[in-house]
Amino acid sequence: MSKIGFIGLGIMGKPMSKNLLKAGHELVVFNRSREAVKELVSEGSEAASSPKEVAERCSLIITMLPNSPQVREVVLGPNGVIEGVRPGTMVIDMSSIAPGVSREISMSLSEKNVRFMDAPVSGGEPKAIDGTLSIMVGGSATDFEEFYPILKAMSSSAILCGEVGAGNVTKLANQIIVAINIAAVSEALVLATKAGANPETVYKAIRGGLAGSTVLDAKAPLMFERRFDPGFRINLHIKDLNNVLETGHDMGAPLPLTASVMEMMQTLKIYDLDQADHSALVQYYEKLANIVVKNK
């Protein structure tokens, strides 16, 4: 099996890298927090001291980092991937970042004859753990076909969406739909609770109809069971919606619903709820209605 460099062992990157190990791949890992590195080494990975060293030792490098600045720094910055990389190497960035930054990084790497794909994921920590993420890929068809088995080791679905940048455009669209859907579920369950209905019963009654969705099934039970541990944190969704709104403004695409949900999440940040799962968006509506959505 091939040796893979993996940079970024956070809430998503650590279980993703473990799934690569389970699939039989050898890993060279780097992370600023050394505890995560120690854990991966204990399970058979090798440690590297820098992104540059990862690049020197691997012909495939995967990054899974918080946002555009971190990816740019790790790949293009001092002691970064670009300083140790060899021609023909593939860099797959699985972070959720601005599409324009993906294209910028790709252009810089191409000057060294290094290949690049953006491949952000959807599914959150639970699907990262069980290896059933959905991966949205931007890159060439040839590269996608070559590295598809690697992506499949971490996912139930990997789809080529277009050239470099298209993966992150697709992820932005995904995050719009998820955010607005959570807001709609929150609004509906607060109304139902305020009107005297049991929110769990309402959920069971509507989930099989047109209102049913993956978001409804994943998030409604968390709301009425009051389980807001992440999951996918509100502060990460705020980051994604910042990229959505920035891209929308650049492209001339108005995003009024996205902007509204962003303000809801910013309000929860003021209440120190930004570390909670994004299902905690229901608490925005609960504060307005002075009621709590929970089982009766």
Catalytic residues: 171
**Contact (Cβ atoms closer than 8 angstroms) between residue 94 and residue 117:** no
Contacts of 42 (CB under 8 A, 6+ apart): none
Q: Return the structure tokens found at 152.
A: 């499949």
- Give the C-alpha separation, 59 to 127, whole Å: 27
**For the residues of 30-47, what is the DSSP string, one character each?**
E-SSHHHHHHHHHTT-EE
Handedness of CA 157, 239, 67, 131 (dihedral sign): negative
By the 10 Å C-beta count (0-12 exposed, 13-18 middle, 19+ buried), 139 is classed as buried
- Give the C-alpha separation, 6 to 17, whole Å: 7
Whether cis (ω within 30° of 0) applies to the bond prior to 231 is: yes
Going by C-alpha positions, the residue among 174, 62, 173 that lies closest to residue 117 is: 62
- Give the C-alpha separation, 128 to 186, whole Å: 25
**Contact (Cβ atoms closer than 8 angstroms) between residue 285 and residue 273:** no
Going by C-alpha positions, the residue among 281, 103, 282 that lies closest to residue 190 is: 282
Phi, then psi, of 47 in degrees rounded to 5: -95, 145
